[in-house]
Amino acid sequence: MKYSFPLFIIGFFLLGSWSAFGQQDPQYTQYMYNTQVINPAYAGNRGNLSFGLLYRTQWVGVEGAPKTLTFSVNSPIGMQEKMGLGLSVVRDEIGPSTNTNFTIDYSYSIYLNYNARLSFGIKAGADVLNVNFDELNIYNPSDPLFQNNIDNRWQPQVGAGIYFNTRKFYVGLSVPNFLETEHYKRSDGVSYAEASDRMHYFLMAGYVWDVSPNLKIKPATLVKAVRGAPLQVDISANFLIHKRFTLGASYRFDAAVSALAGFQVSPSIFIGVAYDHDLSEFQHYNDGSYEAFLRFDIFNREERVLTPRFF
């Protein structure tokens, strides 16, 4: 099924240049369960081998709308578990373009006391872009700009982050990619569109309140800043009931309101879902956005199973 060229351009710039509605990096509602992709200092922080899989379909009902698949795995390494190592893979599709990102995440932690530690992380990898212009309905099929597809164009990625946490509180600051690279520029210098990656700054924080033995409340926030675009702020509240059920809601200022739910199937398996309702003018043209998340933990010490982490 072909996408119209105007729709592709509009969608690309909504995701690429105007972070009031989207951004170059994929949008996540369940960012609190996808921390490693945003901040490499989180690698190994859960204290066990942890796998995460997240799928997001955005703006349901819009042809060529973004779809994102994220896979991550991380684990502490070393006898004292001061280091963490992980792998992140993100596949982002919009219209005829597919962007795949592979990164290795490494962290080193300093224990400030028994309950608090400060972690530093680096992220390094590559970003691979493919665009099939044959899927577009182009007004002028003979336009030389769209005669050759973009095949496996890769760009390096280098990022870093810092993450502080106790048993109840966390705060992190990160830049997943320091390199500002141009996506739609041919080797002969001719550009398909003025679009290039800009550095994204992420600030996240959260706190867990033990209301009772069977109820915990975790407010959290994610602040995203991109040069030349409005500040994006997400706030959320999640309730953990009987250590198994998670219910929550979030608000993305001037963009979306979301509902979240999760279930701890077993000590090792957690599943979650989320729904976004668009608050922008674009809400009249789509049926919202959906996310599904799966986390699988492999524990190496029994006490970690008995005291599950809420972040």
- Tell me if 252 is assigned to some domain: yes
How far apart are the C-alpha atoms of 92 and 11, rounded to whole Å?
13
- Count the residues in the chain: 311
Nearest to 187 by CA among 158, 150, 157, 156: 150
Q: What is the pLDDT of residue 78?
A: 87
Question: What's the CATH code of the domain at 243?
Answer: 2.40.160.40
Are the beta carbons of 217 and 239 closer than 8 angstroms? yes
How far apart are the C-alpha atoms of 210 and 84, rounded to whole Å?
28
Which residue matches tokens 């998340």?
Answer: 293
Coil, strand or helix: which one is 147? coil
Q: What is the pLDDT of residue 310?
A: 78
Q: What is the pLDDT of residue 20?
A: 33
Nearest to 59 by CA among 293, 281, 250, 294: 281
- Tell me if 155 is assigned to some domain: yes
Cα dihedral 254→67→248→205 (10° resolution): -70
Q: Strands 3-4 and 289-298: what pairing?
A: unpaired
Q: How many domains does the chain have?
A: 1
- Tell me if 309 is assigned to some domain: no
User: Strand runs (DSSP E) across 78-148, as ranges?
Assistant: 83-94, 97-111, 117-131, 136-137
- Tell me if 304 is assigned to some domain: no
- Tell me if 292 is assigned to some domain: yes
Q: What is the pLDDT of residue 301?
A: 66
List 191's β-bridge partners, or say none: 185
Q: What domain range includes position 77?
A: 3-298
- Indicate the residue type of 299: F
Token readout for 105 is 């995440």
- Tell me if 200 is assigned to some domain: yes
Q: What is the pLDDT along the chain (311 residues), one digit of tens a residue?
A: 555 544 444 444 444 433 333 345 778 999 888 899 999 999 999 989 999 999 999 999 998 899 999 999 999 998 788 999 999 999 999 988 899 999 999 999 999 988 899 999 999 999 999 988 877 777 777 776 666 788 888 999 999 999 999 989 999 999 999 987 665 555 555 555 445 667 899 999 999 999 999 999 999 999 999 887 788 999 999 999 999 999 999 999 988 999 999 999 999 999 999 999 999 888 888 999 999 999 999 987 655 554 557 78
Coil, strand or helix: which one is 181? coil
Burial of 94 (0-12, 13-18, 19+ CB in 10 A): buried
Burial of 284 (0-12, 13-18, 19+ CB in 10 A): exposed
CA-derived radius of gyration, the chain: 20
pTM of the predicted model as reported, rounded to 2 decimal places: 0.85
Coil, strand or helix: which one is 76? strand
How far apart are the C-alpha atoms of 290 and 259, rounded to whole Å?
10
- Tell me if 203 is assigned to some domain: yes
Nearest to 295 by CA among 309, 277, 278: 309
Q: What is the pLDDT of residue 93?
A: 93
Nearest to 110 by CA among 72, 86, 84, 85: 84
- Tell me if 311 is assigned to some domain: no
